[in-house]
Chains A and B, each alone.
Chain A
Amino acid sequence: MFPHILELGIRKNVSIQLNAFTLSATEGLRIYHIIDGKFEWRINQRQYVFYPGDVAVILPGQEFGSENGVLEIGSFSWIHISIQKKNNGEIVLGKWSGLSESESLAIGKILLLNNSPALVKFNEAGKIFKCIQSEITGQEIGYVTRVNHQIDELLIQLTRQLTRQVNPGRDFPKTFMNLEQALRQNLAHQWTVEEMAALVGLGTTLFTERVKSYSGFSPINYLINIRISEAIKLLKRPDISVTDIALDTGFYSSQHFSTTFKKLTGYRPSEFRKIHLRNK
């Protein structure tokens, strides 16, 4: 019924166990919710401490476990979900999910860009685990749909919690800097306003308003700013073709690049390059 649920479990550990929780990497997305106790776990080569209510999120391929295999006293529940990783690194959910394609892409993107796998005080996850558990055991009418809904709900809540934790809604300059960094690191990606807003943890309307009043530009125009600035730097180096520059900086085509570039600077990219390399 649920091929996308690789594992669903709860564990109560009453005594310290050796070699019971060794490091491993798997293909699925793993989510752990601490019910009680204190756990020191290693995720993607970094050590984290988890307390009751906290949630650990392990992305596909990341190593996860306890440093020396020790499992401390306490209890926790978990789910492992199968998700597909496309060649370009994007994460997509399966057909079971009711999320729209763009929403599911945005969630995947935020999970990938997030570098803190520890969510503090996220008890919603525990409630959702319980609900999934009881739906599966009860098998009442409509349980398949309800279980899948709950997994969608889990991923949505998780993503919102992640962005809120990174951007607590107080320091816009810092938040904007984080966003700007994410854009630069992934300039070739066709960013949408929805994705950018989700990354900051705001709805699109409020996000656009805040960006406009802070930067003077709409989110998309600010992005074009970064794209052209990066393109200028690359045009001043002789070793990359104009087409590659266009694609690397996120334009659909060299034609699109050329038009946008000329509109702003008055030069076609090739002209601009010639002028700035003339003395070489």
Chain B
Amino acid sequence: MECIITIELGTNAVRVFAFDMNGHVIGSLKGYYPTFHTEPDYSEQDPEQIFITMLYVLKNLLNERIHPKKYKVACICFSAAMHSVLAVDKNGNPLGNAITWADNRAKKEAQELNNSPLGDTIYTATGTPIHPMSPLLKICWIKNSDKERFRLTSKFISIKTYIIQQLTGEYFTDYSIASATGLLNIHKVQWEPDALAYAGITADRLAEPAPVFTTTGKLKKAYQNSLGLSPDTKIIIGSSDGCMATLGDGVKGEGKASITIEDSGAVRVMGDKVLQDKQRRFFNYLLTEDCYVSGGPTNNGGIIFEWFTRQFGFFRDPFDIEHSMQELMAEAAKVPVGSDGLLFLPYLLGERAPIWNANARGMYFGLNIKHERNHFVRATIEGILYEIYSIGKTLEEHRDIKSISINGSFGTIPFCTQMLADIFNKPVRLRRNFHSVSYGAYLISATAMGIYKSLDDAARTVELPDVYRPQKQNHTVYAAYFNIFERLSTQLSDAFEAIVNLQQLKA
């Protein structure tokens, strides 16, 4: 019996899944790795710890679930968070930690490029918003502020490129991850000369971009031995977590959108055309040469409800956040739709799409003397989902969205899923039990191995059995409040800036 292993190098953890050839899950394990914030805007991870954690988890899964049942691993396929940058020297050894997507040190670089006409050219060519998350701007930061590292760097790679290089000795970056660097021309699928020049590098200092189906050279002998894998185990480079989640939900073709809400979130559509947006509110990333995953990201997903729970939850047992969150959700359910007019702006971490305002901050609005504790709970959840809707609504200016799929730990909580269906006034579908990202990786592997003729065929087989249907009367209430939510989000921009100035003064 053969099986397919998928490895997701996520924001906080590696998740390893094993699938049989029909796409049924055989087993899965995760392993956490830390993010270091040594300076206020910094967000870094240790590539060696990610590598070791990945090996450890993979080995445990193989030893517990795969080898005892005599499965033969046909291939291993990778997915990873976007926008990471790791500088390596001529021996391939890391020069410091990897800089993650959440790192904001390139604020100044982003502002400069945003205000220059080149910003438009580069955004249009590369599909990556001009934002500190963009590897283009992180490389600029290293060039400007860490000259020694810039000089010693032989290549600027992603975390996934590093992990695959450790396993096989070869440098590859897939089209999806490459298209999220701000350096790849997504129309021509080659490095964009304007962007390279702006970063001050030549193409040989990046890894070679390759289609997501690409098989690398063999696993190194030492890892074949320690993992108990045969030399003909294929290593498939795979895609990014965002593209995988969208594919895993079967969002190919017209009328579909996919929403992810974990700590942060995103709304995505997939198609053969780039979304052209004058206000530069969307990303356009590549899944394949003729397939774009477009949409908008938010900073303020489930992490905001976790924050709320930590402040106001009951915590009957120490650190029992899951249970405390469930209790709060139950409280929220008792409050009428629309929280009797209490509105919440969830921008505690600043916001990306659609307002792209790093200075945005949170707010409870409309508070009156009849509001009680429970209203705050419900308003908080509604606010988080209004933000998701505001991305979806801007996407609808470009695409017709008929049905939605939802994935991620926060979005798939039934109370939230139903609320999404009501707010969007569209049916929302989901699958239980496993991760859309890993399923996307399975679909890519199965297509690479010839089980499906194309990704379209593969995506068509996706079944999302659970459907939440919208309730019209709820939608009417939400729509009225959303109108105020939207107005507040844009009209407060002066006040946001003023309060941030004061907050930064104090810090």
Contact = CB atoms under 8 A, between A and B. Distances in A.
Contact of A264 (B49, B55, B310, B321): B55
A276 B49 contact: no
A172 B319 contact: yes
B368 to A, nearest CB: 29
Contacts of B49: 225-226, 229
19 contacts: A170-B315, A170-B319, A175-B319, A215-B13, A216-B29, A221-B56, A225-B53, A225-B56, A226-B49, A229-B53, A233-B46, A236-B93, A264-B55, A265-B52, A265-B55, A265-B223, A265-B226, A266-B220, A266-B227
Contacts of B90: 279
A121 interface: no
B222 A265 contact: yes
Interface of A: 169-172, 175, 177, 180, 201-202, 206, 210, 214-217, 221-222, 225-226, 228-230, 232-233, 236, 262-267, 271, 276-280
A226 B226 CA distance: 19
B318 interface: yes
Contacts of A169: 315, 318-319
A176 to B, nearest CB: 8
With a 10 A CB-CB cut-off, give which of A169, A236, A266 has the most chain B CB atoms.
Answer: A266
A279 B48 contact: no
A266 B222 contact: yes
Contacts of A266: 220-227
B27 interface: no
Nearest to B12: A173
A214 B52 contact: no
A264 B52 contact: yes
B57 interface: yes
Contacts of A228: 52
Instruction: Identify whether the interface residues of A are mostly helix, strand, loop, or mixed.
Output: helix
Interface in B38-72: 46, 48-49, 51-53, 55-57, 59
Contacts of A177: 34
Nearest to A222: B32
A265 B315 CA distance: 40
A277 B91 contact: yes
B217 interface: no
Nearest to B93: A236
Nearest to B307: A171
A229 B52 contact: yes
B225 A229 contact: no
A177 B36 CA distance: 9
Nearest to B57: A216
B313 interface: yes
A41 to B, nearest CB: 25
A229 B46 contact: yes
Nearest to A221: B56
Nearest to A278: B91
Nearest to B55: A264
B30 interface: yes
Contacts of B318: 169, 201-202, 206
A55 to B, nearest CB: 22
A100 B342 CA distance: 56
A44 to B, nearest CB: 23
Given A170-B313, A276-B91, A267 B222 contact: yes
A132 B442 CA distance: 68
Contacts of B31: 215-217, 225
Contacts of B221: 266
A279 B91 contact: yes
B134 to A, nearest CB: 26
B32 A264 contact: no
B15 to A, nearest CB: 9
Contacts of A170: 310, 313, 315, 319, 321
Contacts of B313: 170
Contacts of B93: 236, 276
A34 B372 CA distance: 38
A-B interface, 5 closest residue pairs, ranked by CB to CB distance from nearest: A266-B222, A266-B226, A169-B318, A215-B32, A229-B49
Interface in B360-405: none
Nearest to B29: A216
Nearest to A217: B31
Contacts of A222: 32
A215 B32 CA distance: 4
Nearest to A213: B322
A229 B48 contact: yes
Nearest to A237: B93
Given A169-B318, A170-B310, A264-B226, A225 B48 contact: no
Nearest to B227: A266
B50 to A, nearest CB: 8
Contacts of B32: 214-217, 222
Nearest to A271: B222
A221 B224 CA distance: 22
Interface in B220-237: 220-227
A77 B91 CA distance: 62
A228 B59 CA distance: 15
A233 B226 contact: no
A264 B34 contact: no
Contacts of A232: 48, 51-52
With a 10 A CB-CB cut-off, give which of A177, A210, A216, A262 has the most chain B CB atoms.
Answer: A216
A236 B52 CA distance: 15
B169 to A, nearest CB: 10
Contacts of B225: 266
Contacts of A201: 318
Interface in B6-41: 13, 29-32, 34
A175 B51 CA distance: 24
A171 B309 CA distance: 10
A230 B97 CA distance: 12
A275 to B, nearest CB: 9
A202 B222 CA distance: 40
Contacts of A229: 46, 48-49, 51-53
A174 B334 CA distance: 31
A169 B31 CA distance: 22
Interface string B188-228: 00000000000000000000000000000000111111110
